[in-house]
Amino acid sequence: MKNLKLKPAATAFLVIGLAFFILSWGIFGHEHINKAAVMALPKPLQTFFYNHIDFMTQESTVPDLRKYTLKDKSENPRHYIDMENFGNLDSVPHNFEDVKKKYDEKFLSSNGILPWYIQEVMTKLTKAFKEKRKTEILFLAGDLGHYIGDAHMPLHTSVNHDGQLTDQKGIHSLWESRLPELFGKNYNFHTEEAHYIQDIDATTWAMIADTHRLVTPLLEADKVLRTSQPVTAIFQMDAKGNIAKNKFNDMIFSDAYATQLHTALNGMVENQMRKAIIATSSYWYTAWVNAGKPNLDDLDTREYTNRNKKSLKQDLKLWNKGILFGLESEKDF
């Protein structure tokens, strides 16, 4: 198994055991983003990450576990930014210390710190690479992939995060969880190879702005569909004729409606996942380059790396066809 053996072992079991209660991009989205990001890395960094690709896949959902299951109050604002409430972005500091001087803690807790936290984790990851701290590298890289994934979900950048302001409740989980789960098996997860990022701050904010531009078309597409058909066509109905709800008390959209919205969005979900993959891979690569390109070969035994070489070669062939291996929802091949 290509995975990191971490101590205490209970940590890994906790992550795996509770992962099924996690929201945000869904398990499908975050796992596919991190896993494909490993495949997009150039050698030799790819070799090291591939040795631990199972862990990187599982770790992709841990920030949501801290948020929803462990109820870590500090975690919530790391996943979003309500762009509308920050006003003119030209006046928003890119440095987190300057941000905390301009906005009080209550405002930031309510409106999110996603771009600044991405930068913070990036700084920590670079330091971990430089000091060759294996466990920390993998934990931080896995977490970073999660936040970059969130930064590519349009409603993570908007105060109207669940359509609650426009009578479109439920759109958040529908877009980021249900649609990938229903249609992701046909997505193409092959991307260009990771590239070096010259300016992390500028790139992070450009990424947020690019994602935010999709908020309006996403909500408009949903609004058109919702107002053109009866509620019974939009949602699943229970035996009593009421709208069915899941264990989180969210209304369950019908497969037919999900299909209509996915078609109307014209590839938006797949495109955002692909953008998240190359961004995640490029941030990892940039952190390693900025750390001085440390040789990571000695962090794993030569025997362990050699055992994975054949699998890596085979999995790269699949990935070049857009297929990710070892995930239940992948394409048939």
Q: Give the pLDDT band (50/70/90) at residue 18.
A: very low
Contact (CB, 8 A) for 18 and 69: yes
Kindly provide the b/e burial profile for residues 69-99, where b requires at least 16 CB atoms within 10 angstroms of the residue's own CB. Answer: beeeeebbbbbbbbbeebeeeeebebebeeb
pLDDT tens-place string over residues 50-105: 999 999 999 999 999 998 888 998 999 999 999 999 988 889 999 999 999 999 99
The pLDDT of residue 109 is above 90: yes
Q: Which domains does the chain have, with CATH numbers?
A: 9-319 (1.10.575.10)
* Angle, helix 268-290 to helix 134-150, in steps of 10 degrees: 150
Q: Mean per-residue pLDDT for 318-329?
A: 81
Look at phi and psi of residue 249 and say left if phi exceeds 0, alpha if psi is from -120 to 50, else beta: left
Q: Mean per-residue pLDDT for 121-125?
A: 98
Q: Give the pLDDT band (50/70/90) at residue 247.
A: confident
Q: Give the pLDDT band (50/70/90) at residue 3.
A: low
Residue 248 is predicted with a pLDDT of 77
State what percent of residues in the chain have pLDDT above 90: 84
Residue 327 is predicted with a pLDDT of 61
Q: How far is CA 229 from the centre of its chain?
A: 32
Residue 147 is predicted with a pLDDT of 97
Region of poorest pLDDT, from 68-77, 104-113, 129-138, 210-219: 68-77
Which residues are bridge partners to 237 per DSSP? 243
State what percent of residues in the chain have pLDDT above 70: 90
d(CA 49, CA 35): 10
d(CA 136, CA 125): 8
* Angle, helix 302-319 to helix 26-39, in steps of 10 degrees: 110
Q: What is the pTM of this model?
A: 0.91
The pLDDT of residue 25 is above 70: no
